[in-house]
Amino acid sequence: MLPQPKPVPAVPARRGLVPDLLAGVGYLGRGFGMWITSPRLMLLGAVPALVVGLVYLVGIVFLIVNLNTIVVWATPFASGWAEPLILSTRVAAALVFVIVAALFAVYTFTAVTLVVGDPFYERIWREVETRLGGAPAELKQSLLRAVGRSILDGLRLLIPAIGVGILLLASGFIPLVGPIAVAVFGALFGGWLLVVELTGFAFDARGFSLRERRRALRSRRAVAIGFGAASYLLFLVPFLAVVAMPSAVAGAAMLSRDTIDRLTAPPAL
């Protein structure tokens, strides 16, 4: 049986698409507020993000240096075209490759950072839960099991990301609208992946499976995507991502609590 946490102020349900998206962004803003109230804790949470971010920065530089070679290799069909058409096609291809690479980079950066910094981010999550009241009891499981579960859930989220990434690559070659559609959908889908990943602490502590977590977040889909997309856009900036990572963990804890409270609240008479 799931524990019944104390009611906390929650964002009203079904206020409209735009208000819900903005409410999701608001959770991230509240997460950034933890830098004021708990600066030492948040600074500890930035350390794993910095270490992993430096590794990813090397990969970003490698991609930029070799982007032209990759694009030429991927568009051999354009070699015999007129020069303006070749240039426009390869510029569009480069843009699509960068967008899709950003989707995978942001998601894997989050997953890897959460695994590497698990003790730090769990402390941030628990600090938020303690402030809200009714924090769940600590799970008695080994570090190896906890890390193994995080990796398994990460892989289960990565599989659909690969399929969507391939679809985005193909869609990016649609004239005019392709790159724009890829950028918008990439941010929305990437945001959804992030919010599912970042809310793991609260849902796992209460015995929710990954499928149940997704179902719970879908009940507040616009709010969840607003939070996730805002986090995704911040994570695209390498050094800003270091500061945003612990903030996103804190904001996700707040979003999780409000969502779980809605699920466990008695029905209105």
Entry pTM: 0.81
**What's the CA gap between 20 and 42, in Å, rounded?**
27
Q: What average pLDDT does the segment 145-151 reach?
A: 65
Kindly report, residue by residue over 115-139, the tens digit of the pLDDT: 888 889 999 999 999 998 887 877 6
CA distances, 258 to each of 13, 24, 90 (Å): 11, 11, 46
C-alpha–C-alpha distance, residues 36 and 40, integer Å: 9
CA distances 225 to 22, 82, 120, 123, 212, Å, are: 10, 42, 25, 25, 17
Determine the Cα–Cα distance for residues 14 and 171; give it in Å rounded to an integer. Answer: 32
Note the pLDDT of residue 8.
37
pLDDT digits (tens, 9 = 90+) for 185-205: 888 888 998 999 999 999 988
Segment holding 75, helix H or strand E: none
Is the separation of the CB atoms in 95 and 34 below 8 Å? no
246-263 pLDDT tens trace: 999 999 999 999 999 888
DSSP type of residue 209: -
Between these two residues, 145 and 188, which has the higher pLDDT value?
188
- Residue 46 predicted with pLDDT over 70: yes
Exposure of 41 by Cβ count < 10 A (0-12 exposed, 13-18 middle, 19+ buried)? Answer: middle
Integer Cα distance of 15 and 130 in angstroms: 28
Residue 242, pLDDT above cutoff 90:
yes
Whether 260 contacts 48, CB under 8 Å: no
